[in-house]
């Protein structure tokens, strides 16, 4: 749940709460460094920006289901409601991406995983996706803080949590601009999370 797929000095970058107006800048940077990442998208935002979803796929990145309404906490919702949040978001992301779109993971909003929502995700063909490094970029702590969280917290095989949606993500973009060359210099290769 917290590991990249391959052994070795790998990192799985993950971006939550998009797609948004910042997704394009993040994709540009990833392309510049030949990096790939996993995007945990909110269903209605995928519906609103199908071109961004298609670009994510076309450039070799992968998709993760991050619910319809981003309910927090999720585990207090009824089973039916949780099933809707997971299944409908997967459908919206799939429609935005076009035929054959794969959504391999599910990430609970705020990491609020429960036995129940993990089971629902598995029943819909997705594996729960956690993280090992929380950059807390959503709180806009400053570019240096986001960069330091990765530089100090990352171990080989780690899964890094960042955000391309949910508000002003200019700090995330600026941090990524520093982190991608740092990761490359330190011998990291970009991987997807374990499935």
**Contacting positions for Zn ion (CB under 5 A):** 16-17, 109
Least distance from C-beta 73 to Zn ion, angstroms? 12
Q: CB nearer to Zn ion: give 36 or 107.
A: 107
Q: CB nearer to Zn ion: give 137 or 191.
A: 137
- Which residues in the chain belong to E strands, given as ranges? 10-18, 37-41, 62-65, 103-106, 127-128, 133-134, 158-163, 189-190
Q: Is 164 a catalytic residue?
A: no
Set 36, 66, 70, 163: catalytic member: 163
Residue 176 and residue 26 in contact, taking contact as beta carbons nearer than 8 Å: yes
Q: CB nearer to Zn ion: give 17 or 137.
A: 17
Q: Is 16 a catalytic residue?
A: yes
Residue 128 and residue 195 in contact, taking contact as beta carbons nearer than 8 Å: no
Between CA 69 and CA 28 the distance in angstroms is 27
Is it true that the peptide bond before 154 is cis, omega within 30 degrees of 0?
A: no
Between CA 99 and CA 115 the distance in angstroms is 30
Query: Which CA distances in Å does 47 have to 55, 58, 61, 86?
Result: 14, 17, 18, 15
Q: CB nearer to Zn ion: give 69 or 127.
A: 69
The torsion angle over the Cα atoms of residues 106, 171, 13 and 130, rounded to 10 degrees, is -40
- Of residues 150, 142, 147, the one with CA closest to residue 177: 147
Least distance from C-beta 67 to Zn ion, angstroms? 8
Least distance from C-beta 164 to Zn ion, angstroms? 11
Q: CB nearer to Zn ion: give 109 or 157.
A: 109
Set 16, 65, 164, 191: catalytic member: 16
Least distance from C-beta 138 to Zn ion, angstroms? 8
Least distance from C-beta 16 to Zn ion, angstroms? 4
Q: Which residues are annotated as catalytic?
A: 16, 163
């Amino acid at each position: 749940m917290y590991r990249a797929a391959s052994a070795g000095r790998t990192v799985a970058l993950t971006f939550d709460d998009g797609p948004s107006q910042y997704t394009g800048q993040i994709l540009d940077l990833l392309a510049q460094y030949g990096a790939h990442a996993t995007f945990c998208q909110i269903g209605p935002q995928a519906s609103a920006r199908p071109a961004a979803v298609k670009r994510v796929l076309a450039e070799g990145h992968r998709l993760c289901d991050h619910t319809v309404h981003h309910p927090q906490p999720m585990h207090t919702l009824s089973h039916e409601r949780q099933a809707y949040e997971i299944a409908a978001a997967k459908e919206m992301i799939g429609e935005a991406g076009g035929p054959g779109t794969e959504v391999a993971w599910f990430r609970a909003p705020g990491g609020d995983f429960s036995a129940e929502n993990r089971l629902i995700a598995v029943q819909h063909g997705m594996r729960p996706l956690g993280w090992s490094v929380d950059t807390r970029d959503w709180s806009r702590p400053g570019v240096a803080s986001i960069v330091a969280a990765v530089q100090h917290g990352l171990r080989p095989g780690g899964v890094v949590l960042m955000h391309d949606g949910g508000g002003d993500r200019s700090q995330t973009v600026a941090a990524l601009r520093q982190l991608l060359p740092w990761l490359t210099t330190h011998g990291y290769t970009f991987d997807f999370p374990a499935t």
